[in-house]
Amino acid sequence: MKLYQNRQAPNPRRARMFMSEKGVDFDAIEIVELDLSAGDNISAEHKHRNPMGGVPVLELDDGTYLSESMAISRYYEALHPEPPLMGVGALEQATIEMWNRRMELNFFMPVGMAFRHTSGHFSDREAVCPEWGEITLKGARKMFSFLNNHLANNEYIAGESFSVADITALCTVDFARVIKLRIDDEQPHLRRWYDTVSARPSAGA
Amino acid sequence: MKLYQNRQAPNPRRARMFMSEKGVDFDAIEIVELDLSAGDNISAEHKHRNPMGGVPVLELDDGTYLSESMAISRYYEALHPEPPLMGVGALEQATIEMWNRRMELNFFMPVGMAFRHTSGHFSDREAVCPEWGEITLKGARKMFSFLNNHLANNEYIAGESFSVADITALCTVDFARVIKLRIDDEQPHLRRWYDTVSARPSAGA
């Protein structure tokens, strides 16, 4: 099995953290590091693995390629149901899906777009729009206070238990450093949650 | 049970189509139509249901609110596993998740952003960036030919069976009319798929 990824990018980290929570033995997986700045991920070779050109991509032993961090996560959730990170039963599964998507659509994506459009980091391969970068940066900043309020009354993002929504949110908070957003002193609930989740061994995977 | 939604918006249609495929009896659900142009969805009343201000929102009989079309879909997938629309077994679940996300991230979202940023339809409540609208419009257009090629060798978006990925793609193709994108005569495979999926009774839900 091979994992095509990049050490600094947030999506591969989401997959690694999920896999680590599931007890995956990384020594049994060949890690193939791609240099995204050099365009390794948009090479013909990589587009054969994933036509969308993203990382991570998991190559199974039979040669099947799985891309999208959440598809890889769902693969492991089904293979190793314990501990459940996507919920058990209809209502819990739906609640976690809801919160994970809120974290993706309203937090992870604005942070990612703010990075790409304010820095022009991938201007060799995509149209860059600084004005859009500023708009998404504001949206990302708002989420820090939204989350602080939410976590005043919730232990974890989706409620009482650690879930995939916490993985998405943690990887977003850490990645947001590239656009100079950090938890501030007026966000103690977000800080409490961040320290708790960051202390899990999987956070370093 | 209540479904807060809007008849023209693509996300509620995704949920309705999924629910219809699952045999949900819409006569047993109170449909509450929100006027998005008038801002019904960003009222304090609706933000109590969904702090992100989106539709659809499903209100369960105990007063629980579920938002995000895919969270509502997952709720019904768990309640009524047959027919499976999100896959059975780890590899199939992951493959469908991968293709559904490709449809969302690379197709549904660019179409939605192109609409909002070229039309300024929601300029009363969000920053509008016409340049970003043009960039995302180009991305959305590219997906029509990507899908035509993909469907030359695949019966459905995620392979041999109808799945949630087809629902996402169909709702996107239909919604793309608002940015004047349509399947053209040089996309016969996409046309074949579109006609097949559009003919399902759920497409009219």
- Which string of DSSP letters, residue by residue, matches B143-197? HHHHHHHHHHS-SBTTBSS--HHHHHHHHHHHHGGGGT----TT-HHHHHHHHHH
Please check whether residues A137 and A172 belong to one and the same domain.
yes
- Chain B residue at shortest CA distance from A138: B127
A84 is a domain residue: no
pTM: 0.98
Please check whether residues B127 and B195 belong to one and the same domain.
yes
Of B47, B79, B111, the position where a domain reaches its end is: B79
A85 is a domain residue: no
State pLDDT tens for residues A54-70.
Answer: 999 999 999 999 999 99
- CB of A93 closer than 8 Å to CB of B75: yes
A121 is a domain residue: yes
Q: Helix or strand or coil: residue A187? A: coil
State pLDDT tens for residues B138-176.
Answer: 999 999 999 999 999 999 999 999 999 999 999 999 999
For residue A167, name the pLDDT band (cuts at 50, 70, 90). Answer: very high
B103 is a domain residue: yes
- CB of B46 closer than 8 Å to CB of B38: no
Of B27, B49, B79, the position where a domain reaches its end is: B79
- What is the span of the domain harbouring residue B38? 2-79
Q: B159: which 2 tokens?
A: 């392979």
Of B18, B49, B79, the position where a domain reaches its end is: B79
Chains A & B: contacts with CB separation below 8 Å? 89
State pLDDT tens for residues A126-146.
Answer: 999 999 999 999 999 999 999
Provide the number of structural domains found in chain B.
Answer: 2
Q: Best interface-test mutation with A: which of B14, B125, B129 has the largest number of A CBs within 10 A? A: B129
**Partners of B4 in beta bridges:** B32, B57
Cα–Cα separations (whole angstroms), residue B58 to A202, B83, B163: 34, 21, 21
State the CATH number of the domain containing residue B70: 3.40.30.10
Please check whether residues B61 and B96 belong to one and the same domain.
no
Are residues A106 and B79, on separate chains, in Cβ contact within 8 Å? no
List of chain B residues with pLDDT < 70: none
Are residues A67 and B129, on separate chains, in Cβ contact within 8 Å? no
B85 is a domain residue: no
